[in-house]
Amino acid sequence: VERIEGNLSAVAQAPACLGPECAASAAFYQAALQRYTRENTPAALAAWQSIAPRLSLTADERRVIEEELAFYALVRSVPGTLAWVDSVLPGLDSERVLELRVRRALEDRQWSEVLNWIAQMPASQQSNSRWQYWLARANEQLGNHGAAEARYREAALDRSFYGFAAAERLGVPYRLNNERNHFDDASRERTAALATVQRTEALMRIGEEGLANSEWLYAVRTSSPAQARALADYAAHRQWYPLLVQTTIAGEMWDALDWRFPPAYRESFLRWGEQTGVDPYLLMAITRRESAYNPVALSPAGARGLMQLMPGTAALVSRQLGLSDPGPYGVLDPELNIRLGSTYLRDKLNRYQGNRLAATAAYNAGPGRVDQWLGDGRGVEAFDLFVESIPFRETRDYVQAVLSYRVIFESLANGGDSQGVTLLSDNEQQVRYDRALLALR
């Protein structure tokens, strides 16, 4: 063990049997190879292939080691490892490695492999609209148009980025599945009289926001669905927008879109969207994803306010506008935060010739990384392939969430009608995602 602590490659010379009746062997090799895999994946794989035949490990014990190796081999695109990954993958029972393998097949435009590896996903994973969409795209590329349409129709049932993309492929309306709830003044008076509501409001009046939220959300979780919806309506009526969003989560009101995506700061988004030339629904979607309308939100990285601006970014944009540096507390002012965030997003849009997908990715990951993804020499010929090519899971999820939220906000502004609303413009869908997209090059 001491030799391996100082030199991980020594694992290849370690004895096959450790501890009484070899009971320590599995834990030792799993721990050593996990560390080795993360430090030097190619060397760890070579070591494993060398020692695996002589080790008396159970199938489950081997699976732990090989799952980690396969994951890092794909994440790091280690040359010469794909055949080994493919040989062990069917026995790994690993959703994360299957996802990576499909994304690798998409990167290589190996459409038959896309079908093969999605088919090996467990039913719960495969049924996700994302994978139904890619089954459709792969079948479409292979000329299986009937199968493609069936999979698109399955994906289009979902209210999501890929569900909306599938609906556009079919030319059918988005399935918003919006739940309508109706409450009147009399019902609100009854809700206002509840002890939990009165305690919540009393705590708010004395500045105990945290305790007020805890009181409220406990009531939501322990209420009947009807009573929880009455509380959500009351929060909406009082314009407690951050608490309203948390209410829909606590009460699992996933289809109550008017409450999940309320008109918080709507006039400010419309005003600054118009002044900066930025799609106001994109601003709303970014804010909903970034802070869920909490004007004093503070991220672990230090981003602040509704649109989660870093203090340095806020200072830079303020100078650009001829304003004084708002400092770490001034940037929490909702109106200023939206103004600065709108201007910052406008600059990202200008950088990518108005492309909202690239600009949204840059808002999350930074323009330097997006420039790198666009300029890596490969080029991506479609928006969906660009999304899957984003190496950061956080950013992949972020752009999908923001763009689908944008559809929902615009649809709600139209009275819940998605007619005429599009996920992306024709240009955003058809442009090639490569270095040519950069306006600054």
Closest to 102 in 3D by CA, of 72, 76, 126: 126
Q: How many other CB atoms are there within 10 angstroms of residue 177's CB atom?
A: 12
Which residue type, as a one-letter code, is found at position 372?
Q
> Of 67, 215, 290, 410, which one is the catalytic site residue?
290
Which residue type, as a one-letter code, is found at position 371?
D
d(CA 322, CA 89): 57
Query: Which of 6-36 are b and which e, b meaning 16 or more Cβ less than 10 Å from the residue's Cβ?
Result: eebebbbebeeeeeeeeeebbebbbebbbeb
Tokens coding 348: 């990202």
* Whether 383 contacts 424, CB under 8 Å: yes
For tokens 């599995």, the residue is: 26
- For the question of residue 5 being annotated catalytic, the response is no
3 state SS of 433: strand
Q: What stretches of 201-331 adopt beta strand conformation (E)?
A: none
Closest to 362 in 3D by CA, of 264, 440, 292, 277: 440
Tokens coding 69: 């190796």
As to burial, measured by CB atoms within 10 angstroms (0-12 exposed, 13-18 middle, 19+ buried), residue 226 is: exposed
- Our measurement of the distance from residue 395's CA atom to the centroid of its chain's CA atoms, rounded to an integer in Å, reads 6
Which sequence positions are flagged as catalytic?
290
